[in-house]
Structure 1
Amino acid sequence: MRLSLLAATTLAAAGLLAAPIMAHDDEPAPARTAPVPVSLTPDQLLQPYYEALRQQVEMPVAGPNPSLSPATPLTRIAFGSCNHQSAPQHMWAQIASANPQLFLMIGDNVYGDNGWDADAGLESLRRAYALQASHPEFKAFRAKYPMMATWDDHDYGLNDAGGSFPMRRWGEALFESFWGSSDAVRSRPGVYDSTITGPEGKRVQVILLDTRYFRSDLKRMAWSKDRPPLGGYLPDDSLDKTMLGEAQWAWLEQELAKPADLRVVVSSTQVITTAHQFEGWTNMPVERNRLLETLKNRAASGLVILSGDRHAAGIYKAAHKGETMWELTSSSLNLSFGSDNDRSTAREPDPARVTKFFSEENYGLVDIDWKAKRLTMTLKGNTSATLASQTFTW
């Protein structure tokens, strides 16, 4: 980690960096002593620097956004992930054509770790937000459609990073400033959030998890020329590893106990699938089972899981203790790694996936039929053509 002169000066002034001890020629050098243990984490040590930095840099903001009335009966929610600030912004018009009542940005909302150079000020992340805010397509969309957001690694600050990322507090400050986070989010570490919208009988609870700020380090796979091509991590059954951290786990249980008719649970990384070794809940099987168990024990309601991250999309299905759980993965908005859906599907066989694995640009829709208690998940391509659809009742 490289600190700027400002950072070093600020930390020294706060007594967190020791000043060199100088001895005069006619005085004996001071005896060396053992270093004083410091119980602060790296991000806590950097906090004085960030307090000073706030006074010197402009914090990017996404721009005005209409609020969603708590009384609104939601019937259509759109969402997406993996939006690069330097790539074309054509998908906003496509999503607008679907006329959603709410849009969820569920991670990698910008790519701020491109060219990341260990600068404690996360300047490349700040510039990424500023560039995204400048796009007229994005500004027009945000001015019309209510939005909620959580993050993934590339808008957190470092590829595949978790709770040990030293600059996470500044990444959080940038996120909360850009998206205009609620007072509840700003009052606690991390960016997890929840809302309940609609009258009794049509209440939709949207739960945005934070799978970055508290997550334990992942177990890496040893390099081998024969290593499978689907990621570099191994499942870790350690009981001391966490995806959400105990405070967020307790919060999630409290949220799931609230009265709601349908719950939309958002995870930036995939939940159901165990078919790859990239990031996802598959990295921590104990935590994955805890999540499925926690969702199973929710107060009576329908449930759908939304996820992103993969630069490909699909619909997933799993049975957990007699309940069928559905997950819709949508990725990416404008950073596709290809358009050969058949090749992507063949590359990652997955018994939990009930559709092809779509590698072209896409966004997701959740449509709610309250009279029939029926939910339809749809994947839309970059011309809003339907790629896949699945309906279920609850």
Structure 2
Amino acid sequence: MRRSHSLLATTALLAAAIMPAPLMAHDDEPAPSSKAPVAVSLTPDQLLAPYYEALRQQVVMPVAGPNPALAANTTLTRIAVGSCNHQNAPQHMWGQIASANPQLFLMIGDNVYGDNGWDADAGLESLRSAYALQASYPEFAGFRAKVPMMATWDDHDFGLNDAGGNFPMRRWGETLFETFWGSSDAVRSRPGVYESNITGPEGKRVQVILLDTRFFRSDLKRAAWTKDRPPLGSYLPDENLDKTMLGDAQWTWLEQELAKPADLRIVVSSTQVITTAHQFEGWTNMPVERNRLLELLKGREASGVVILSGDRHAAGIYKTAHKGETMWELTSSSLNLSFGSDNDRSTAREPDAARVTKFFSEENYGLVDIDWKAKALTITLKNNTSATLAEQRFTW
């Protein structure tokens, strides 16, 4: 017997549970009442909370396994990054990443594909099963046992393709995420999975900021349906000032984080920031929010900065100028779910003035190398044999 109900069944059960039984005058007749029924408004989060509390006691919650902590005094010189890892696909990339000897690995979204096979059950059983399968791989467990990791999510491990803040099961998806990755007390104490960490001695402090572009994000504006679907996405830029990518609390938090002393900041967004060349998911969907992010980065406490992103099942290096400052972004995607190895075709399909490399559709991971003496960064894309696809060096 399934331990989780469909959302419709769950909603009906909870509605019945919170609806008081009518008083009876006789055996089969409700007692008269002088008071009209009072409507009670409940959010999906409130409605589903009792169900999830009970479910937590019934099911085995998958965990990723032991992971060493990153010592606070570590001088970081190499960080690896990856996204789009399917639990049903080969796990060969963990050995390749390990061979690069990173001190920290950033798992930045679509860390599993838990919405594959989802049948709309409120317990997100397919997501829970995806985490359990991922944890079972010795390649993944061996890597995690040696290399400190930090993680944020994207849509396929949030719960549903392209979903945002109106996804009714987001709270349970968050519980599964935080349990699997062993999230910090700070993350567990608030809605969403955004996080920040500062590592290193004064003069070599690295701040890693992991944004949550899912939990609070407003619905996207869709293009009108046509017989010939747009080849580069079906969303339109939306300048509605009521729309948000991060939500008020996360925006306030981010402003506070960017005011902290640090020498280098690594800002992670699961979806792309700089490019406006497509209308798949990305900050290009909300130009006002994109400009707000660039403004905050521009106004940060003095430091270097680089943006990391994933999502696209292809990789590239991007550059933009914002009010006189050059900003760089490394998009690394995917670890084991590529759309092919024809990089020239992928590049031609998506011309982009902001991209300074080809658009690499083969399996890849990224590296950020820090030269503290020169105050320089080298961002690199590696394929599944660790051959270099592209690299870019710049100073701050």
Q: For the superposition of Structure 1 and Structure 2, which TM-score range results when normalised by the shorter chain?
A: over 0.9
Q: Give per-residue Cα distances to partners, 1:189-211, cap 9 Å, x unaligned.
A: 00000000000010000000000
**Aligned position for 1:97:** 99
SS at the partner of 1:305? strand
SS at the partner of 1:306? strand
Which of 240, 243, 266 is matched with 1:241 structurally? Answer: 243
Equivalent residues in 2 for 1:196-275, closer than 5 Å: 196-275=198-277
Q: Output the CA distance in 1 between the equivalents of 2:14 and 2:96.
A: 47
* Contact 1:274–1:282 under 8 Å retained in 2: yes
**Aligned position for 2:185:** 183
Q: Give per-residue Cα distances to partners, 1:341-361, cap 9 Å, x unaligned.
A: 000000000000000000000
Q: Give per-residue Cα distances to partners, 1:219-254, cap 9 Å, x unaligned.
A: 011111244211110000000000000000000000
Distance 1:122 1:372, change over 3 A: same
Distance 1:370 1:233, change over 3 A: same
* Contact 1:7–1:49 under 8 Å retained in 2: no
Distance 1:111 1:27, change over 3 A: same
Stretches of structure 2 lacking an aligned partner (at least 5 in a row): none
**Aligned position for 1:3:** 7
Which of 173, 176, 180 is matched with 2:175 structurally? Answer: 173
Which of 308, 317, 333 is matched with 2:335 structurally? Answer: 333
SS at the partner of 1:375? strand
Which of 60, 70, 80 is matched with 2:62 structurally? Answer: 60
Could you tell me how far 1:116 is from its partner in structure 2? 1.2
Q: Output the CA distance in 1 between the equivalents of 2:100 and 2:28.
A: 80
Q: Output the CA distance in 1 between the equivalents of 2:257 and 2:21.
A: 48
Q: Give per-residue Cα distances to partners, 1:353-391, cap 9 Å, x unaligned.
A: 000000000000000000000100000000000000000
* Counterpart check, 1:126 vs 2:132: no
* Contact 2:22–2:30 under 8 Å retained in 1: no
Which amino acid in structure 2 is aligned with residue 369 of structure 1?
D
Q: Output the CA distance in 2 between the equivalents of 1:143 and 1:98.
A: 16
Which amino acid in structure 1 is aligned with residue 152 of structure 2?
T
Distance 1:56 1:5, change over 3 A: farther
Equivalent residues in 2 for 1:377-392, closer than 5 Å: 377-392=379-394
* Contact 1:201–1:261 under 8 Å retained in 2: yes
Equivalent residues in 2 for 1:296-335, closer than 5 Å: 296-335=298-337
Q: What percent identity do the matched residue pairs reach? A: 85
TM-score of the superposition, structure 2-length normalised? 0.95
Equivalent residues in 2 for 1:36-47, closer than 5 Å: 36-47=38-49
Could you tell me how far 1:115 is from its partner in structure 2? 1.2
Q: Output the CA distance in 1 between the equivalents of 2:27 and 2:68.
A: 69
TM-score of the superposition, structure 1-length normalised? 0.95
Which of 31, 50, 62 is matched with 2:52 structurally? Answer: 50
* Contact 2:118–2:126 under 8 Å retained in 1: yes
Could you tell me how far 1:44 is from its partner in structure 2? 1.9
